[in-house]
């Protein structure tokens, strides 16, 4: 299957084709085929996360909610699968690639020249005084860097360091854009940088990182 068919319209012909023989001990990740019901579930769970950290229900409602969540756990538990087989994280067309851990951002450019993603930090990501938690920005950048590596055609690598400059407060519920690209490659080392901006183009944070290509069997 052609690369762009696997990853969708955000991908252009210049997207790299990496070699899975050099992915250390990582399982082979392939895009997941899911129906619209999967995106619906992830979206509902994200709203639930927002509500879980922003509501103060009565004890009766908390009891009721706990029972319903426990029922949901019982429903899903029998379908547990090993890493690499779950759709979460493997659906490029969904916000956060369908993973609840990732920021619910949507990739709009994915090629060898770089990756751009757009989205919002939500109530779930609150740090204090209306701003995104400082720890959520490295998550956004680190995941973006993984995609940049992939789009550039580099084998899966581990982040050796990640340096963030927090330039301005990152607001919640505001559309933002993050974009980055490979700066240089030196043997196993890939140097990547990216910038987070608001819609007016104000830089909120910038980040640079070193990713080191894994050796055969390296975890
Ligand atoms: C289906 C669609 C999916 C698409 C998306 C898929 C996304 C998937 C994304 C998955 C993404 C997953 C992402 C994650 O999971 S990132 C998870 C967080 N990162 C880690 O857990 C990494 C832990 N560390 C390690 O494993 C090792 O330290 C690594 C592997 C990084 C290097 O240990 P290794 O023993 O192998 O190599 P080396 O030490 O000989 O170093 C090699 C070279 O690098 C240079 N160096 C090293 N460290 C630093 C440093 N801090 N500053 C400056 N330089 C540094 C070093 O000087 C040397 O340079 P040189 O002397 O050769 O010039």
Q: Would the pLDDT of 6 be above 50?
A: no
- Residue tagged 């860097």 (tokens): 145
DSSP 164-182: EEE-S--BSSS-EEEEEEE
Q: Would the pLDDT of 72 be above 70?
A: yes
Quick check: is 219 in a domain?
Answer: no
Quick check: is 16 in a domain?
Answer: no
The strand pair at 131-132 and 106-111 is best described as: unpaired
Quick check: is 69 in a domain?
Answer: yes
The answer, yes or no, to whether any atom of ligand 1 lies below 6 A from the CB of 150, is yes
Domain count for the chain, please give it.
1
- Return d(Cα 175, Cα 96) in angstroms, integer: 15
The answer, yes or no, to whether any atom of ligand 1 lies below 6 A from the CB of 24, is no
Calculate how far, in angstroms, residue 161's C-alpha sits from the geometric centre of ligand 1. 8
The answer, yes or no, to whether any atom of ligand 1 lies below 6 A from the CB of 189, is yes
Q: Would the pLDDT of 4 be above 50?
A: no
Q: Three-state SS for 8?
A: coil
Quick check: is 181 in a domain?
Answer: yes
Q: Would the pLDDT of 30 be above 90?
A: no
Calculate how far, in angstroms, residue 123's C-alpha sits from the geometric centre of ligand 1. 32
The answer, yes or no, to whether any atom of ligand 1 lies below 6 A from the CB of 12, is no
CATH code of the domain containing 82: 3.10.129.10
Structural domain span for residue 93: 36-213
Q: Do residues 92 and 15 touch, judged by C-beta distance below 8 A?
A: no
Q: Would the pLDDT of 103 be above 90?
A: yes
- Nearest residue (by CA) to ligand 1, atom 9, is 146
Q: What is the pTM of this model?
A: 0.89
Quick check: is 3 in a domain?
Answer: no
Banded pLDDT at 5 (limits 50, 70, 90): very low
């Amino acid at each position: 299957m052609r690369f762009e068919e696997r990853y969708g319209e955000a991908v252009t012909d210049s997207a790299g084709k990496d070699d899975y023989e050099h992915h250390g001990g990582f399982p082979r990740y392939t895009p997941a085929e899911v129906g619209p019901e999967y995106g619906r579930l992830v979206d509902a769970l994200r709203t639930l996360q927002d509500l879980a950290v922003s509501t103060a229900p009565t004890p009766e409602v908390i009891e009721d909610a706990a029972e319903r969540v426990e029922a949901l756990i019982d429903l899903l538990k029998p379908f547990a699968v090993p890493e690499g087989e779950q759709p979460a994280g493997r659906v490029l067309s969904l916000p956060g690639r369908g993973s609840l851990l990732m920021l619910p951002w949507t990739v709009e450019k994915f090629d060898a020249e770089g990756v751009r993603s757009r989205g919002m930090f939500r109530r779930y990501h609150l740090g204090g005084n209306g701003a995104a938690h400082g720890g959520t920005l490295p998550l956004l950048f680190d995941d973006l860097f993984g995609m940049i590596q992939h789009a550039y055609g580099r084998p899966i690598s581990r982040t050796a360091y990640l340096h963030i400059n927090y330039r301005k407060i990152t607001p919640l519920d505001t559309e933002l854009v993050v974009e980055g690209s490979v700066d240089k490659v030196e043997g196993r080392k890939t140097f990547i940088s990216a910038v987070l901006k608001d819609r007016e183009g104000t830089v909120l944070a910038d980040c640079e990182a070193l990713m080191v290509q894994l050796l055969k069997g390296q975890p």
